[in-house]
Amino acid sequence: MDYQFYKSLFGDVDVDIFDNGKKDSSSSAFTTPDLKMKFSDYVDTIIKDEPSDLRMFLFNMFKKKPGLRKDFPCP
């Protein structure tokens, strides 16, 4: 996977981030993000060879860059 490609497209986009380390294991659904960060900062965090509790869910890249749809075939 070419992380730099995605960082070049979405690097300045603010994304919702969830910190699983802060969650109570007895709670059911997590609907409110714990923080926002730039997509590029999140990618930098997850490509490190270190454990991380930070998670990103439901980021729709096609809403930000509709032209990408032509790069991903859909039946």
Q: Is residue 35 part of a domain?
A: yes
Structural domain count, the chain: 1
Question: Going by C-beta distance under 8 Å and a sequence separation of 6 or more, which residues neighbour residue 1?
Answer: none
Q: Is residue 36 part of a domain?
A: yes
Boundaries of domain holding 18 = 3-60
Q: Is residue 46 part of a domain?
A: yes
Q: Is residue 71 part of a domain?
A: no
pLDDT confidence band for 23 (50 / 70 / 90): low
User: How far is Cα 54 from Cα 26, in angstroms, rounded to an integer?
Assistant: 19
User: What digits encode the pLDDT tens for the residues 32-75?
Assistant: 888 999 999 999 999 998 999 999 988 888 898 888 888 878 77
Report yes or no on whether pTM surpasses 0.95. Answer: no
Does residue 30 register a pLDDT over 80? no
Q: Is residue 73 part of a domain?
A: no
- What pLDDT score was predicted for residue 58? 85
pLDDT confidence band for 28 (50 / 70 / 90): very low
Q: Is residue 65 part of a domain?
A: no
Q: Is residue 69 part of a domain?
A: no
Q: Is residue 67 part of a domain?
A: no
